[in-house]
Structure 1
Protein backbone atom coordinates (compact mmCIF):
# COMPACT_ATOMS: atom_id res chain seq x y z
CA UNK A 1 0.00 0.00 0.00
CA UNK A 2 1.29 3.46 -0.85
CA UNK A 3 1.94 5.30 2.42
CA UNK A 4 4.01 8.26 1.23
CA UNK A 5 4.16 11.69 2.80
CA UNK A 6 5.42 14.86 1.23
CA UNK A 7 8.31 16.72 2.88
CA UNK A 8 8.75 19.56 0.41
CA UNK A 9 10.45 18.42 -2.79
CA UNK A 10 11.31 15.01 -1.31
CA UNK A 11 8.65 12.33 -0.95
CA UNK A 12 9.42 9.83 1.79
CA UNK A 13 7.85 6.43 2.24
CA UNK A 14 8.49 4.65 5.50
CA UNK A 15 11.71 6.62 5.94
CA UNK A 16 13.09 6.59 2.40
CA UNK A 17 13.22 2.80 2.15
CA UNK A 18 13.32 2.51 -1.63
CA UNK A 19 9.84 0.97 -1.70
CA UNK A 20 9.14 2.70 -5.01
CA UNK A 21 11.32 -0.01 -6.60
CA UNK A 22 9.24 -2.95 -5.30
CA UNK A 23 7.30 -4.89 -7.95
CA UNK A 24 3.72 -5.95 -7.26
CA UNK A 25 0.12 -4.92 -7.73
CA UNK A 26 -0.31 -2.95 -4.50
CA UNK A 27 3.02 -1.14 -4.20
CA UNK A 28 4.23 2.43 -4.36
CA UNK A 29 5.61 1.66 -7.84
CA UNK A 30 2.06 1.15 -9.14
CA UNK A 31 0.55 4.09 -7.22
CA UNK A 32 -0.76 7.04 -9.26
CA UNK A 33 2.00 9.50 -8.18
CA UNK A 34 4.65 7.04 -9.43
CA UNK A 35 3.19 6.44 -12.89
CA UNK A 36 5.51 8.96 -14.56
CA UNK A 37 8.66 7.48 -13.03
CA UNK A 38 11.06 5.61 -15.25
CA UNK A 39 14.51 4.09 -15.21
CA UNK A 40 13.67 1.09 -13.02
CA UNK A 41 15.61 -1.32 -15.28
CA UNK A 42 18.61 1.01 -15.25
CA UNK A 43 18.59 1.09 -11.44
CA UNK A 44 18.39 -2.73 -11.37
CA UNK A 45 21.33 -2.97 -13.79
CA UNK A 46 23.43 -0.58 -11.69
CA UNK A 47 22.59 -2.44 -8.48
CA UNK A 48 23.54 -5.77 -10.10
CA UNK A 49 26.88 -4.36 -11.25
CA UNK A 50 27.66 -2.90 -7.81
CA UNK A 51 26.66 -6.12 -6.04
CA UNK A 52 29.19 -8.05 -8.19
CA UNK A 53 31.97 -5.72 -7.06
CA UNK A 54 31.02 -5.31 -3.40
CA UNK A 55 27.98 -7.27 -2.24
CA UNK A 56 25.67 -5.58 0.26
CA UNK A 57 27.98 -2.57 0.82
CA UNK A 58 28.93 0.57 -1.06
CA UNK A 59 32.53 1.79 -1.04
CA UNK A 60 35.13 2.56 -3.73
CA UNK A 61 32.94 0.86 -6.29
CA UNK A 62 30.81 4.01 -6.22
CA UNK A 63 33.58 6.13 -7.68
CA UNK A 64 35.43 3.65 -9.92
CA UNK A 65 33.40 4.40 -13.05
CA UNK A 66 34.02 8.10 -12.53
CA UNK A 67 37.76 7.57 -12.09
CA UNK A 68 38.38 5.21 -14.98
CA UNK A 69 35.48 4.92 -17.43
CA UNK A 70 32.91 7.71 -17.25
CA UNK A 71 30.15 7.26 -19.84
CA UNK A 72 32.01 4.21 -21.25
CA UNK A 73 34.82 6.46 -22.53
CA UNK A 74 37.70 4.56 -20.85
CA UNK A 75 38.65 7.98 -19.48
CA UNK A 76 38.11 9.72 -16.14
CA UNK A 77 35.35 12.24 -15.61
CA UNK A 78 36.61 15.56 -17.05
CA UNK A 79 34.86 17.53 -14.29
CA UNK A 80 37.10 16.09 -11.55
CA UNK A 81 40.23 18.04 -10.63
CA UNK A 82 43.53 16.39 -11.57
CA UNK A 83 44.75 16.41 -7.96
CA UNK A 84 41.61 14.68 -6.66
CA UNK A 85 41.71 12.23 -9.56
CA UNK A 86 45.26 11.19 -8.68
CA UNK A 87 44.42 10.91 -4.97
CA UNK A 88 41.31 8.79 -5.59
CA UNK A 89 43.01 6.57 -8.16
CA UNK A 90 45.71 5.87 -5.56
CA UNK A 91 43.06 5.15 -2.90
CA UNK A 92 40.76 3.17 -5.21
CA UNK A 93 42.92 1.45 -7.82
CA UNK A 94 41.19 -0.26 -10.73
CA UNK A 95 40.69 -4.02 -10.21
CA UNK A 96 41.69 -3.75 -6.55
CA UNK A 97 40.45 -6.47 -4.21
CA UNK A 98 40.86 -4.24 -1.15
CA UNK A 99 38.00 -2.59 0.72
CA UNK A 100 39.40 0.95 0.67
CA UNK A 101 37.24 3.95 1.46
CA UNK A 102 37.58 7.56 0.39
CA UNK A 103 36.45 10.65 2.28
CA UNK A 104 33.61 12.58 0.66
CA UNK A 105 35.02 15.84 2.03
CA UNK A 106 38.46 16.26 0.49
CA UNK A 107 39.43 19.24 2.67
CA UNK A 108 42.69 18.40 4.50
CA UNK A 109 42.20 18.14 8.28
CA UNK A 110 38.45 18.75 7.91
CA UNK A 111 37.15 15.20 7.35
CA UNK A 112 35.58 14.98 10.80
CA UNK A 113 34.60 18.63 11.27
CA UNK A 114 31.03 19.76 10.62
CA UNK A 115 31.52 22.79 8.39
CA UNK A 116 30.84 24.06 4.89
CA UNK A 117 34.28 23.11 3.50
CA UNK A 118 32.70 20.32 1.45
CA UNK A 119 30.85 22.90 -0.66
CA UNK A 120 34.07 24.82 -1.29
CA UNK A 121 35.64 21.56 -2.43
CA UNK A 122 32.92 20.75 -4.95
CA UNK A 123 33.21 24.31 -6.31
CA UNK A 124 36.92 23.50 -6.85
CA UNK A 125 35.94 20.30 -8.76
CA UNK A 126 36.90 18.09 -5.81
CA UNK A 127 33.59 16.25 -5.43
CA UNK A 128 34.28 12.59 -4.73
CA UNK A 129 30.90 11.40 -6.01
CA UNK A 130 29.75 12.47 -9.47
CA UNK A 131 26.34 13.53 -8.15
CA UNK A 132 28.05 15.80 -5.61
CA UNK A 133 30.17 17.42 -8.31
CA UNK A 134 27.10 17.89 -10.48
CA UNK A 135 25.44 19.94 -7.72
CA UNK A 136 28.09 22.61 -8.27
CA UNK A 137 27.74 22.46 -12.05
CA UNK A 138 23.97 22.32 -12.56
CA UNK A 139 22.18 25.67 -12.99
CA UNK A 140 19.39 24.67 -10.58
CA UNK A 141 21.75 23.90 -7.68
CA UNK A 142 24.99 25.80 -8.33
CA UNK A 143 23.69 28.95 -6.61
CA UNK A 144 22.77 26.99 -3.49
CA UNK A 145 26.21 25.35 -3.43
CA UNK A 146 27.90 28.74 -3.77
CA UNK A 147 25.72 30.21 -1.02
CA UNK A 148 26.54 27.34 1.36
CA UNK A 149 30.24 27.59 0.48
CA UNK A 150 30.28 31.35 1.12
CA UNK A 151 28.36 31.29 4.40
CA UNK A 152 29.28 28.95 7.26
CA UNK A 153 26.26 30.27 9.20
CA UNK A 154 23.84 29.50 6.36
CA UNK A 155 25.25 25.97 6.16
CA UNK A 156 24.89 25.35 9.90
CA UNK A 157 21.33 26.76 9.95
CA UNK A 158 20.21 24.62 7.01
CA UNK A 159 22.04 21.55 8.28
CA UNK A 160 20.38 21.89 11.69
CA UNK A 161 16.92 22.19 10.15
CA UNK A 162 17.58 19.16 7.93
CA UNK A 163 18.72 17.08 10.91
CA UNK A 164 15.50 17.92 12.77
CA UNK A 165 13.49 16.70 9.75
CA UNK A 166 15.63 13.56 9.44
CA UNK A 167 15.10 12.78 13.14
CA UNK A 168 11.38 12.48 12.42
CA UNK A 169 11.97 9.67 9.92
CA UNK A 170 11.71 6.18 11.38
CA UNK A 171 15.32 5.11 10.88
CA UNK A 172 15.93 1.37 11.12
CA UNK A 173 19.02 0.22 12.99
CA UNK A 174 20.77 -3.08 13.68
CA UNK A 175 18.98 -5.97 12.03
CA UNK A 176 15.68 -4.08 11.69
CA UNK A 177 16.47 -3.17 8.08
CA UNK A 178 17.92 -4.92 5.04
CA UNK A 179 20.10 -4.07 2.07
CA UNK A 180 18.22 -5.50 -0.89
CA UNK A 181 20.09 -7.81 -3.24
CA UNK A 182 17.68 -6.68 -6.00
CA UNK A 183 15.86 -3.36 -5.86
CA UNK A 184 12.57 -4.77 -7.16
CA UNK A 185 12.05 -7.42 -4.45
CA UNK A 186 12.47 -7.94 -0.73
CA UNK A 187 15.21 -10.42 0.29
Structure 2
Protein backbone atom coordinates (compact mmCIF):
# COMPACT_ATOMS: atom_id res chain seq x y z
CA UNK A 1 0.00 0.00 0.00
CA UNK A 2 1.45 3.39 -0.96
CA UNK A 3 1.57 6.41 1.33
CA UNK A 4 -1.53 8.15 -0.08
CA UNK A 5 -3.63 5.02 0.28
CA UNK A 6 -2.31 4.38 3.74
CA UNK A 7 -3.37 7.85 4.82
CA UNK A 8 -6.97 6.85 4.26
CA UNK A 9 -6.95 4.06 6.78
CA UNK A 10 -6.39 3.85 10.49
CA UNK A 11 -4.33 2.43 13.24
CA UNK A 12 -6.43 -0.60 14.10
CA UNK A 13 -5.81 -0.87 17.81
CA UNK A 14 -6.00 2.85 18.49
CA UNK A 15 -8.86 3.47 16.07
CA UNK A 16 -11.17 0.91 17.66
CA UNK A 17 -10.52 2.37 21.08
CA UNK A 18 -11.27 5.88 19.85
CA UNK A 19 -14.59 4.79 18.45
CA UNK A 20 -15.72 3.76 21.91
CA UNK A 21 -15.10 7.24 23.27
CA UNK A 22 -16.84 9.36 20.65
CA UNK A 23 -20.07 11.04 21.58
CA UNK A 24 -22.16 14.17 21.20
CA UNK A 25 -20.20 15.96 23.89
CA UNK A 26 -20.05 19.71 23.39
CA UNK A 27 -18.93 20.10 27.01
CA UNK A 28 -15.37 19.27 25.93
CA UNK A 29 -15.45 22.09 23.38
CA UNK A 30 -15.29 25.76 24.25
CA UNK A 31 -15.40 29.17 22.64
CA UNK A 32 -11.89 30.62 22.49
CA UNK A 33 -10.13 27.30 23.10
CA UNK A 34 -6.94 28.51 21.38
CA UNK A 35 -6.57 31.78 23.28
CA UNK A 36 -3.08 31.82 24.76
CA UNK A 37 -2.12 28.44 23.32
CA UNK A 38 -0.08 29.88 20.47
CA UNK A 39 1.42 32.86 22.20
CA UNK A 40 -0.13 35.97 23.59
CA UNK A 41 -0.60 37.79 20.30
CA UNK A 42 -1.50 34.92 17.96
CA UNK A 43 -5.17 34.95 16.92
CA UNK A 44 -5.80 31.49 15.48
CA UNK A 45 -9.37 32.22 14.42
CA UNK A 46 -8.29 35.51 12.86
CA UNK A 47 -5.60 33.76 10.79
CA UNK A 48 -8.10 31.23 9.45
CA UNK A 49 -10.64 33.97 8.80
CA UNK A 50 -8.08 35.97 6.80
CA UNK A 51 -7.36 33.03 4.49
CA UNK A 52 -11.06 32.38 4.03
CA UNK A 53 -11.88 36.03 3.30
CA UNK A 54 -9.27 36.15 0.54
CA UNK A 55 -10.79 33.07 -1.11
CA UNK A 56 -14.39 34.24 -0.59
CA UNK A 57 -13.91 37.59 -2.30
CA UNK A 58 -12.51 35.77 -5.32
CA UNK A 59 -15.20 33.08 -5.34
CA UNK A 60 -18.42 33.50 -3.35
CA UNK A 61 -19.46 29.93 -4.11
CA UNK A 62 -16.92 28.75 -1.56
CA UNK A 63 -19.53 29.50 1.13
CA UNK A 64 -21.81 26.68 0.00
CA UNK A 65 -18.79 24.41 -0.48
CA UNK A 66 -17.54 24.80 3.09
CA UNK A 67 -20.99 24.52 4.65
CA UNK A 68 -21.43 21.29 2.74
CA UNK A 69 -17.98 20.06 3.71
CA UNK A 70 -18.67 20.50 7.42
CA UNK A 71 -22.00 18.70 7.13
CA UNK A 72 -20.50 15.80 5.18
CA UNK A 73 -17.64 15.52 7.66
CA UNK A 74 -19.73 15.63 10.83
CA UNK A 75 -22.30 13.12 9.58
CA UNK A 76 -19.64 10.41 9.15
CA UNK A 77 -17.75 9.44 12.32
CA UNK A 78 -18.37 12.91 13.73
CA UNK A 79 -16.59 16.23 13.23
CA UNK A 80 -13.04 14.89 12.99
CA UNK A 81 -11.82 16.15 9.59
CA UNK A 82 -11.91 12.59 8.23
CA UNK A 83 -13.29 13.97 4.97
CA UNK A 84 -9.95 15.70 4.36
CA UNK A 85 -7.81 12.56 4.30
CA UNK A 86 -6.46 11.39 0.95
CA UNK A 87 -6.43 7.74 -0.06
CA UNK A 88 -7.75 5.22 -2.54
CA UNK A 89 -10.66 4.30 -0.26
CA UNK A 90 -11.03 7.42 1.88
CA UNK A 91 -14.28 9.29 2.43
CA UNK A 92 -13.35 11.61 -0.43
CA UNK A 93 -13.83 8.75 -2.86
CA UNK A 94 -17.43 7.98 -1.82
CA UNK A 95 -20.01 9.02 -4.39
CA UNK A 96 -21.68 11.76 -2.29
CA UNK A 97 -18.27 13.36 -1.65
CA UNK A 98 -16.89 13.42 -5.18
CA UNK A 99 -18.25 16.95 -5.67
CA UNK A 100 -17.20 18.23 -2.25
CA UNK A 101 -14.66 21.02 -2.67
CA UNK A 102 -12.85 23.66 -0.65
CA UNK A 103 -10.00 21.40 0.40
CA UNK A 104 -7.53 23.97 -0.91
CA UNK A 105 -8.96 26.58 1.47
CA UNK A 106 -8.52 24.29 4.47
CA UNK A 107 -4.98 23.43 3.33
CA UNK A 108 -4.12 27.12 3.01
CA UNK A 109 -5.55 27.92 6.43
CA UNK A 110 -3.67 25.01 8.00
CA UNK A 111 -0.40 26.18 6.41
CA UNK A 112 -0.95 29.72 7.68
CA UNK A 113 -1.69 28.53 11.21
CA UNK A 114 1.20 26.05 11.28
CA UNK A 115 3.62 28.80 10.29
CA UNK A 116 3.03 30.55 13.62
CA UNK A 117 1.70 27.77 15.84
CA UNK A 118 2.97 24.33 14.92
CA UNK A 119 1.15 21.19 15.99
CA UNK A 120 -1.57 22.85 18.05
CA UNK A 121 -4.61 23.58 15.86
CA UNK A 122 -6.65 20.68 14.51
CA UNK A 123 -7.93 20.43 10.97
CA UNK A 124 -11.37 19.67 12.40
CA UNK A 125 -11.39 23.05 14.15
CA UNK A 126 -10.17 24.78 11.00
CA UNK A 127 -13.21 23.42 9.12
CA UNK A 128 -15.53 24.77 11.82
CA UNK A 129 -13.85 28.20 11.94
CA UNK A 130 -13.69 28.50 8.15
CA UNK A 131 -17.35 27.58 7.78
CA UNK A 132 -18.39 30.11 10.41
CA UNK A 133 -16.48 32.76 8.49
CA UNK A 134 -18.15 32.09 5.12
CA UNK A 135 -21.57 32.07 6.78
CA UNK A 136 -20.80 35.52 8.20
CA UNK A 137 -19.40 36.83 4.90
CA UNK A 138 -22.56 35.60 3.16
CA UNK A 139 -24.82 37.61 5.43
CA UNK A 140 -25.68 34.89 7.91
CA UNK A 141 -24.45 36.42 11.14
CA UNK A 142 -21.32 35.56 13.11
CA UNK A 143 -22.01 32.86 15.66
CA UNK A 144 -19.38 31.89 18.23
CA UNK A 145 -17.71 28.70 17.10
CA UNK A 146 -16.62 26.15 19.68
CA UNK A 147 -13.15 24.65 19.31
CA UNK A 148 -11.00 21.99 20.94
CA UNK A 149 -11.59 19.11 18.51
CA UNK A 150 -8.88 16.68 17.56
CA UNK A 151 -8.45 14.99 14.20
CA UNK A 152 -9.64 11.46 13.55
CA UNK A 153 -7.60 8.56 12.19
CA UNK A 154 -10.37 6.82 10.25
CA UNK A 155 -11.47 7.75 6.74
CA UNK A 156 -13.21 5.02 4.79
CA UNK A 157 -15.61 5.41 1.89
CA UNK A 158 -17.57 2.44 3.23
CA UNK A 159 -18.52 4.51 6.29
CA UNK A 160 -20.19 7.27 4.25
CA UNK A 161 -23.94 7.03 4.71
CA UNK A 162 -25.39 10.49 4.09
CA UNK A 163 -29.12 11.24 3.73
CA UNK A 164 -30.08 11.14 0.04
CA UNK A 165 -31.83 14.13 -1.61
CA UNK A 166 -34.92 11.96 -2.09
CA UNK A 167 -35.18 10.89 1.55
CA UNK A 168 -38.56 11.33 3.19
CA UNK A 169 -39.05 13.76 6.05
CA UNK A 170 -39.64 11.01 8.67
CA UNK A 171 -36.54 9.13 7.53
CA UNK A 172 -34.52 12.35 7.53
CA UNK A 173 -35.67 13.14 11.06
CA UNK A 174 -34.54 9.66 12.10
CA UNK A 175 -31.14 10.09 10.40
CA UNK A 176 -30.52 13.38 12.20
CA UNK A 177 -31.74 11.91 15.49
CA UNK A 178 -29.04 9.24 15.24
CA UNK A 179 -26.56 12.13 15.39
CA UNK A 180 -28.24 13.72 18.39
CA UNK A 181 -29.97 16.39 16.29
CA UNK A 182 -33.71 16.97 16.56
CA UNK A 183 -36.31 17.89 13.95
CA UNK A 184 -35.82 21.63 14.45
CA UNK A 185 -32.05 21.25 14.08
CA UNK A 186 -32.64 19.37 10.84
CA UNK A 187 -34.87 22.07 9.37
CA UNK A 188 -32.41 24.79 10.34
CA UNK A 189 -29.40 22.90 8.97
CA UNK A 190 -31.12 22.15 5.67
CA UNK A 191 -31.52 25.91 5.48
CA UNK A 192 -27.88 25.79 4.42
CA UNK A 193 -29.40 25.19 0.99
CA UNK A 194 -30.00 28.92 0.95
CA UNK A 195 -26.69 28.95 -0.95
CA UNK A 196 -25.24 26.50 -3.43
CA UNK A 197 -26.40 24.52 -6.42
CA UNK A 198 -27.78 21.09 -7.23
CA UNK A 199 -26.89 19.13 -10.33
CA UNK A 200 -29.72 17.84 -12.48
CA UNK A 201 -29.11 14.17 -11.74
CA UNK A 202 -30.10 14.82 -8.12
CA UNK A 203 -33.64 15.92 -9.02
CA UNK A 204 -34.21 14.97 -12.66
CA UNK A 205 -36.74 12.31 -11.67
CA UNK A 206 -38.97 15.07 -10.28
CA UNK A 207 -39.17 16.60 -13.76
CA UNK A 208 -40.13 13.56 -15.80
CA UNK A 209 -40.77 10.37 -13.84
CA UNK A 210 -41.48 11.14 -10.22
CA UNK A 211 -41.64 7.95 -8.18
CA UNK A 212 -42.01 5.94 -11.41
CA UNK A 213 -45.31 7.59 -12.32
CA UNK A 214 -44.13 8.76 -15.74
CA UNK A 215 -45.18 12.26 -14.68
CA UNK A 216 -43.47 15.19 -12.95
CA UNK A 217 -43.71 15.82 -9.22
CA UNK A 218 -47.18 17.39 -8.74
CA UNK A 219 -45.83 19.45 -5.83
CA UNK A 220 -43.45 21.43 -8.04
CA UNK A 221 -44.42 24.92 -9.16
CA UNK A 222 -45.35 24.71 -12.87
CA UNK A 223 -43.20 27.66 -13.94
CA UNK A 224 -40.22 26.16 -12.12
CA UNK A 225 -40.88 22.79 -13.75
CA UNK A 226 -40.75 24.35 -17.21
CA UNK A 227 -37.56 26.23 -16.40
CA UNK A 228 -35.81 23.18 -14.98
CA UNK A 229 -36.77 21.05 -17.97
CA UNK A 230 -34.88 23.52 -20.16
CA UNK A 231 -31.84 23.22 -17.90
CA UNK A 232 -32.15 19.45 -17.49
CA UNK A 233 -33.41 17.84 -20.72
CA UNK A 234 -34.85 14.36 -20.36
CA UNK A 235 -32.25 11.58 -20.70
CA UNK A 236 -29.38 14.09 -20.50
CA UNK A 237 -26.27 13.36 -18.45
CA UNK A 238 -27.61 15.48 -15.61
CA UNK A 239 -24.44 17.49 -15.19
CA UNK A 240 -26.05 20.93 -15.51
CA UNK A 241 -26.93 22.70 -12.28
CA UNK A 242 -29.30 25.25 -10.79
CA UNK A 243 -29.41 27.28 -7.58
CA UNK A 244 -30.99 25.62 -4.57
CA UNK A 245 -32.51 29.00 -3.67
CA UNK A 246 -34.43 30.01 -6.78
CA UNK A 247 -34.63 33.68 -5.78
CA UNK A 248 -31.92 35.20 -8.01
CA UNK A 249 -31.50 38.14 -5.63
CA UNK A 250 -30.67 35.82 -2.75
CA UNK A 251 -28.92 32.74 -4.11
CA UNK A 252 -25.54 33.77 -2.63
CA UNK A 253 -26.92 35.09 0.67
CA UNK A 254 -27.43 33.09 3.86
CA UNK A 255 -30.97 34.20 4.67
CA UNK A 256 -34.51 32.85 4.99
CA UNK A 257 -35.29 33.13 1.27
CA UNK A 258 -34.84 29.36 0.89
CA UNK A 259 -37.83 28.77 3.14
CA UNK A 260 -39.95 31.27 1.24
CA UNK A 261 -39.12 29.44 -1.96
CA UNK A 262 -40.07 25.99 -0.71
CA UNK A 263 -43.32 27.35 0.76
CA UNK A 264 -44.05 28.57 -2.78
CA UNK A 265 -43.32 25.02 -4.06
CA UNK A 266 -40.08 26.11 -5.65
CA UNK A 267 -37.84 23.63 -3.90
CA UNK A 268 -35.25 21.85 -6.03
CA UNK A 269 -34.44 18.73 -4.03
CA UNK A 270 -37.28 16.45 -3.02
CA UNK A 271 -36.40 16.61 0.68
CA UNK A 272 -36.32 20.42 0.54
CA UNK A 273 -39.80 20.61 -0.96
CA UNK A 274 -41.22 18.05 1.43
CA UNK A 275 -40.03 20.08 4.41
CA UNK A 276 -42.65 22.67 3.52
CA UNK A 277 -45.43 20.12 3.01
CA UNK A 278 -44.98 17.41 5.63
CA UNK A 279 -46.96 17.90 8.83
CA UNK A 280 -43.85 17.14 10.90
CA UNK A 281 -41.91 20.15 9.61
CA UNK A 282 -44.44 22.44 7.93
CA UNK A 283 -45.03 24.76 10.90
CA UNK A 284 -41.31 25.23 11.51
CA UNK A 285 -40.67 26.03 7.85
CA UNK A 286 -43.56 28.50 7.69
CA UNK A 287 -42.32 30.31 10.79
CA UNK A 288 -38.82 30.60 9.31
CA UNK A 289 -40.24 31.91 6.03
CA UNK A 290 -42.24 34.58 7.86
CA UNK A 291 -39.91 35.63 10.68
CA UNK A 292 -37.15 37.36 8.74
CA UNK A 293 -33.46 36.88 8.05
CA UNK A 294 -32.21 37.79 11.52
CA UNK A 295 -34.28 35.07 13.13
CA UNK A 296 -32.98 32.46 10.70
CA UNK A 297 -29.37 33.66 11.06
CA UNK A 298 -29.51 33.15 14.81
CA UNK A 299 -31.10 29.73 14.56
CA UNK A 300 -28.82 28.57 11.77
CA UNK A 301 -25.77 29.56 13.81
CA UNK A 302 -27.09 27.68 16.83
CA UNK A 303 -27.72 24.60 14.70
CA UNK A 304 -24.22 24.78 13.20
CA UNK A 305 -22.72 24.88 16.69
CA UNK A 306 -24.76 21.81 17.62
CA UNK A 307 -23.74 20.04 14.41
CA UNK A 308 -20.11 20.88 15.15
CA UNK A 309 -20.31 19.01 18.47
CA UNK A 310 -21.41 15.69 16.95
CA UNK A 311 -19.16 12.79 18.01
CA UNK A 312 -16.10 14.98 18.48
CA UNK A 313 -12.70 13.74 19.56
CA UNK A 314 -11.11 15.78 22.36
CA UNK A 315 -8.36 15.61 24.96
CA UNK A 316 -6.10 12.61 24.40
CA UNK A 317 -8.25 11.21 21.59
CA UNK A 318 -7.27 11.50 17.95
CA UNK A 319 -4.34 13.69 16.96
CA UNK A 320 -3.35 17.09 15.63
CA UNK A 321 -2.37 16.38 12.03
CA UNK A 322 0.66 18.02 10.49
CA UNK A 323 -1.12 17.89 7.14
CA UNK A 324 -4.88 17.82 6.89
CA UNK A 325 -4.60 15.23 4.11
CA UNK A 326 -2.74 12.50 6.02
CA UNK A 327 -2.56 10.99 9.49
CA UNK A 328 0.75 11.56 11.24
CA UNK A 329 1.79 7.88 11.41
CA UNK A 330 0.12 6.21 8.43
CA UNK A 331 2.30 3.09 8.41
CA UNK A 332 1.49 1.73 11.86
CA UNK A 333 -0.79 -1.36 12.06
CA UNK A 334 -2.87 -0.30 9.10
CA UNK A 335 -5.43 -2.30 7.14
CA UNK A 336 -4.19 -3.82 3.87
Matched with 2:278 is 138
Residue 154 of structure 1: which of 288, 295, 299 is its match? 295
Cross-structure match for 1:5: 23
Structure 2: gaps of 5 or more residues: 1-15, 26-73, 84-90, 92-157, 162-174, 179-197, 313-322, 327-336
What TM-score does the superposition give when structure 2 sets the normalisation length? 0.36
TM-score, normalising length from structure 1? 0.62
Work out the number of aligned pairs and report it. 139
Q: Does residue 164 of the first structure (1) align with residue 316 of the second (2)?
A: no
1:100 aligns with 2:164: no
Point out the structure with max Rg over C-alpha: 2
* Separation (CA, whole Å) in 2 of partners of 1:168 and 1:82: 41
1:79 pairs, out of 219, 238, 243, with 219
How far, CA to CA, are the matches of 1:91 and 1:176 in structure 2? 36
Distance in 1 (alpha carbons) for counterparts of 2:244 and 2:275: 14
1:14 paired with 2:14, answer: no
Which runs of 5 or more structure 1 residues have no equivalent in the other structure? 22-33, 38-57, 178-187
Across the aligned residues of Structure 1 and Structure 2, the Cα RMSD in angstroms comes to 3.4
Judge conservation of contact 1:123–1:136 (CA < 8 Å) in 2.
yes
- Aligned to 2:243, the other structure's residue is in SS state coil
Q: Deviations over 1:114-173 (max 9, x none)?
A: 110110110000000111000000111000100110112221111111233344567xxx
Supply the distance in 2 between the matched residues of 1:6 and 1:166 (Cα, whole angstroms).
9
Flag the structure with more relative contact order, 1 or 2, with Cα contacts below 8 A and sequence separation at least 6. 2
How far 1:108 sits from its partner (Å)? Answer: 2.4
Look up the SS of the partner of 1:143 in the other structure: helix
